[in-house]
Chains A and B, each alone.
Chain A
């Protein structure tokens, strides 16, 4: 029995994926669970394991093609079985053509075996407009109740769903602001036109959507990190020997931010309509820059983890992000985000909030600066920390109290590392 290889559903609201690379050629043997191909979706890039052992007998979706989930992208034949006949277009002209008397060896599969959930979301009746909004706003239509004729999901249904979700008084218009302002139709001069990757498109849309949704305000604090720099330097070697990895500053920040979020629940919240949702979990996303974009894996329940637990989780997530091995759940459920452009030399940044969160912390470069302490000038390791917050929910004083608490925790770090 040959096994169909399908485009998997990577996350609940993902409807399509781009097959970026086949790791096997037609005719090559594959083992069950061995990486077979790579995909890129709105949410995540990852390797997909083979569903069965055998021989990759057919590739139906080529590299670079974007297809809906559950589309059959290839076929694995049982070992020993001949690869299925070459596609018709490469058939030799002089070969006999028995098609007239013999049915084609395999019918083209218009409806691959759908998984129940996927089948439900695909049978949903809507409209071109509703589908477009669902795609842009990342809505799973299967979860909406349609009020149109025969249960069809109408524009009103999806807009009211969105206004509930985003908590915006202004429902997104059917004709939203152009997604890519400044679209240049015919680039002048010498230039190269390259289509955006799925990740690039997703980042572009999410950034613009966030600017439309939240009232962004940024506050800047200067923090003396000399103590943490010293602790890190003292323990770097021991950490490397015990844990086999480099000790970075990030776990210090995650740990202190988790503590500050427990003190200021409103910073660990989101908005739904006119309701405030206080998140019980403290899940801190950490922006990871990649050569091909940006992804924000999430350290779950950071408030319940030890320093070491946070350090290990964060480095494992960053490593898997760079190897495109993040699972969908690794990038979901964040309640607060930390961006760290300081590693690239940035002094301070004003980041865009990662929706539906209400605040994001940006860590500037740690540099030695002359600082006045008790009327003497000292050399200290300083950094600018900025918090961009959603003024719809968080007022300036609250944001500054949060930042003061964070600053105190960092300057008076008193946690064991091991």
Chain B
């Protein structure tokens, strides 16, 4: 079987679910005739028709609002945000309505909101953000951020089948850079399960999304110095797989929390608090964060390079921590 890209894996996942379940449909800006800004929905209009591949006006609030309504009426909509940056336009619909329907009225909203996030593609401040924490902070939502081709396909299928709203952040830097051969047949990756992408004994690097690959690169380099990193890929931010995170920290006793999102209020801070509360007596060094600084994502390529966490950052911090 031919290797497929991360982007193609998501497309396959959606396609297969639409074949399997006629209540699944996609809506978003230019998802139909144009096939999506990144060509993720290419060919779907021809295959499934305009009732199930809906081009919308440029209004994220309307897209999500319509999707919630359809979901309440028994459909399984997949709402595309052309760039995850623009999800903030739909913030109220997502956080005050989709997230609270089950709690307030006992009405599940089986809705997927997906879109490309992340930098490294010289997209500047409006096309490079990582807005996951707004949704991690809102009870009632599930938040997913796959790092591999396999996880991307398995998780989009799980998200579509979930009875509650799932915000699915794909990383656009990985879209065409990753290729992997996928197994045949109908399989999924469960929401809420982290994955150990590399086992190691000395330092746990807990991360998600594109940063997983930087952590793996750093781990390969550091292994030559006898420093073994364990790379824990969260895959799902909510619900968090606390058990796997804590098990890894208890094993290695040292931890680096790594994400591409900015520092303040990031996932790393939340993880640091959980580790301090629940694994304090297993720590043999300070909990270290590697994140983007608290600024917008710069447009200038050298500034963007400075802004994003790099493999060399992980190597430097890991060496400090190993020697601590």
**CB within 8 Å of B: which residues of A?**
127-132, 148-149, 152, 154-155, 173-175
Contact = CB atoms under 8 A, between A and B. Distances in A.
A293 to B, nearest CB: 25
B322 to A, nearest CB: 10
B281 A155 contact: no
Given A155-B253, A174-B251, A174-B253, A129 B324 contact: no
Given A129-B253, A155-B253, A174 B282 contact: yes
B324 A128 contact: no
Given A174-B251, A175-B250, A129 B323 contact: no
List the 6 shortest-distance A-B pairs measured between CB atoms, nearest first. A175-B250, A132-B281, A155-B284, A129-B284, A127-B284, A128-B281
A131 B282 CA distance: 9
B222 interface: no
Contacts, number: 38
A154 B284 contact: yes
B139 interface: no
A175 B284 contact: no
Contacts of A154: 284, 324
Nearest to A173: B251
Interface string B86-102: 00000000000000000
Contacts of A128: 280-284
19 contacts: A127-B284, A128-B280, A128-B281, A128-B282, A128-B284, A129-B253, A129-B282, A129-B283, A130-B284, A131-B281, A132-B282, A148-B324, A149-B323, A149-B324, A152-B324, A154-B284, A174-B284, A175-B247, A175-B250
Contacts of A155: 253, 284
Nearest to A135: B281
Which of B247, B281, B284 has the largest count of A CB atoms less than 10 A from its CB?
B284
Contacts of A152: 324
Interface of B: 247, 250-253, 280-285, 323-324
Nearest to B246: A175
Given A129-B283, A175-B282, 8 more contacts: A127-B285, A128-B280, A128-B284, A129-B284, A148-B323, A149-B324, A155-B253, A174-B282
Contacts of B285: 127
B251 A129 contact: no
Contacts of B280: 128
Contacts of A127: 253, 283-285
Contacts of B253: 127, 129, 155, 174
Which of A129, A130, A148, A173 has the largest count of B CB atoms less than 10 A from its CB?
A129
Contacts of B284: 127-130, 154-155, 174
Contacts of A132: 281-282
Nearest to B250: A175
Nearest to A149: B324
A37 B149 CA distance: 68
A210 B283 CA distance: 25
B324 A175 contact: no
A131 B323 CA distance: 18
A17 B281 CA distance: 20
Nearest to B280: A128
A148 B286 CA distance: 13
Nearest to A126: B284
A11 to B, nearest CB: 23
A242 to B, nearest CB: 56
A354 B67 CA distance: 68
A155 B285 CA distance: 9
Contacts of B250: 174-175
B201 to A, nearest CB: 10
A127 B250 CA distance: 13
Nearest to A156: B284
A268 B232 CA distance: 48
A414 to B, nearest CB: 56
A173 B250 CA distance: 9
A369 B253 CA distance: 59
B124 to A, nearest CB: 40
Contacts of A174: 250-253, 282, 284
A127 B251 CA distance: 15
Contacts of B281: 128-129, 131-132
Nearest to A136: B281
Contacts of A131: 281
A134 to B, nearest CB: 11
A149 B281 CA distance: 19
A251 to B, nearest CB: 45
A364 B285 CA distance: 51
B26 to A, nearest CB: 45
A130 B280 CA distance: 11
Contacts of B324: 148-149, 152, 154
B155 to A, nearest CB: 29
A175 B281 CA distance: 10
B324 to A, nearest CB: 5
A180 to B, nearest CB: 15
A132 B280 CA distance: 10
Nearest to B247: A175
Contacts of A148: 323-324
A15 to B, nearest CB: 15
A131 B281 CA distance: 8
A51 B195 CA distance: 60
B272 to A, nearest CB: 14
B276 to A, nearest CB: 9
A244 B184 CA distance: 89
A129 B255 CA distance: 13
A155 B250 CA distance: 12
A60 B284 CA distance: 33
Contacts of A175: 247, 250-251, 282
A154 to B, nearest CB: 6
B204 to A, nearest CB: 12
B281 to A, nearest CB: 4
Contacts of B252: 174
A381 B88 CA distance: 89
A308 to B, nearest CB: 50
B45 to A, nearest CB: 53
Contacts of A130: 284
B57 to A, nearest CB: 53
Nearest to A131: B281
A148 B252 CA distance: 16
Which of A152, A173, A175 has the largest count of B CB atoms less than 10 A from its CB?
A175
